[in-house]
Structure 1
Amino acid sequence: MLNIQLAKKYAAAMFELAQDQNKLALCDKQLTQICELFNTNHDLQAFMDNPQVNITAKKNLMKKILTDEFEPSITNFLLLLIDKHRITLLTEIITSFHTLSNEAQGIQIAYVKTALPLSTGQEEALKKKLEVTTEKTIQLQTRVDKSILGGIIVKINDRVIDGSVVSQLKTIEKQLVTNC
């Protein structure tokens, strides 16, 4: 719980800085790249998470990773996390930052589950429909799940739209049980 609160505080500080510099989208993109790097490179994550590794060694490696294409504020932020022994919270911090960034930019993430992959046209049509409904810019995160048999399940925040075949079959089953 304490780690989540700390992550949110660091994320809020980075968010404010990015907003003040009018570089919110750029910082969001770069932090996402760094998060992906840490999540795919377990050796890097283990090195940074290891309390026995010297802070100077961690900072030197981070400086090598973060080339000139990264915003100086991002580099300084990550070096600060190393100094404060908070680099282990990086994924949580970036997730919180991303949530704040999306909210500020009017972006909503829709988690979509289908039995078969959606075509590009279907994704675009779904995205447009959801944008009209939510009055926000939608980013789709699709996943194929054959267990729903057919149809679609969309989750946006706390709201779930379940149009799956499994859900429809359960509804029919309940109606049959109550009517018999």
Structure 2
Amino acid sequence: MLNIQLAKKYAAAMFELSQEKNKLALHDSQLAQLSKLFEDNRELKTFMDNPQIKSQAKKELMSQILTDSFDSEICNFMLLLIDKHRISLLSEIITSFHALSNEAQGIQIAYVKTAFPLTEAQHTTLLKKLETITAKTIQLKINIDSSIIGGVIVKIGDRLIDGSVVGQIKSIKKQLVANC
């Protein structure tokens, strides 16, 4: 619990700096790159999380990773996390930052489950419909799950829209049982 609170504080501080410098989208993108880098390279994460490795060695490695392609605020932020021994919270910090960034930019994530891959036309239609319903910019995170047989299940925030064949069968079953 304490780690989540700390992560949110660091994310909020970085978010405020990003807004102040008008670099919110840039920082969001670069933090996402770093998140992917740490996810893809378990050795890097293990090295950075190891308390027996001196901060200076971690900072040197991070400086090599964060070449000129990363904004100076991101570089300084990563070095600060190392100095404060908070680099192990990076994933949680980035998740919190991303949530703050999406909210500020009016972006909402829609988690979509379909039985089959969507065609381009279906993707566009679903995206436009969800943007109309929410009055926000939607980013789709699509998961293919053949167990729903057909249709689509959409989760946006606390809302769940179940238009799957399995969901409809369950609904009909529930109605039949209630009427008997």
Query: Distance between the aligned counterparts of 1:130 and 1:171, measured in 2?
Result: 23
Hey, what does 2:155 align to over in structure 1? Answer: 155
- Matched residue type, 1:107: I
Deviation at 1:175, TM superposition (A): 1.8
Query: Distance between the aligned counterparts of 2:71 and 2:139, measured in 1?
Result: 24
1:174 equivalent to 2:159? Answer: no
Hey, what does 1:97 align to over in structure 2? Answer: 97
Query: Distance between the aligned counterparts of 2:10 and 2:92, measured in 1?
Result: 10
1:34-55 deviations in Å (ceiling 9; x for gaps): 0000011000000000001111
- Matched residue type, 2:46: A
Hey, what does 2:123 align to over in structure 1? Answer: 123
SS in 2 for 1:22: coil
Hey, what does 1:138 align to over in structure 2? Answer: 138
- Matched residue type, 1:27: H
1:53-80 deviations in Å (ceiling 9; x for gaps): 1110000000000010100000000000
Q: TM-score, normalised by structure 1?
A: 0.98
SS in 1 for 2:116: coil
Query: Distance between the aligned counterparts of 1:56 and 1:120, measured in 2?
Result: 49
The aligned runs of 1:3-14 (5 Å cut-off) are 3-14=3-14
1:77 equivalent to 2:77? Answer: yes
Hey, what does 2:59 align to over in structure 1? Answer: 59
Hey, what does 1:112 align to over in structure 2? Answer: 112
5+ unaligned residues in a row in structure 2: which ranges? none
Query: Distance between the aligned counterparts of 1:54 and 1:121, measured in 2?
Result: 53
5+ unaligned residues in a row in structure 1: which ranges? none
Query: Distance between the aligned counterparts of 1:148 and 1:65, measured in 2?
Result: 43
SS in 2 for 1:69: coil
SS in 1 for 2:118: coil
SS in 1 for 2:141: strand
Quick one: percent identity of the two aligned structures? 69
1:44 equivalent to 2:33? Answer: no
- Matched residue type, 2:17: L
- Matched residue type, 1:21: K
Aligned pair count? 180
Q: TM-score, normalised by structure 2?
A: 0.98
Query: Distance between the aligned counterparts of 2:66 and 2:162, measured in 1?
Result: 43
Deviation at 1:178, TM superposition (A): 2.4
Deviation at 1:179, TM superposition (A): 2.5
Hey, what does 1:34 align to over in structure 2? Answer: 34
Query: Distance between the aligned counterparts of 1:178 and 1:34, measured in 2?
Result: 52
Structure 1 residue runs of 4+, over 3 Å off? none
RMSD of Structure 2 on Structure 1 (CA): 0.7
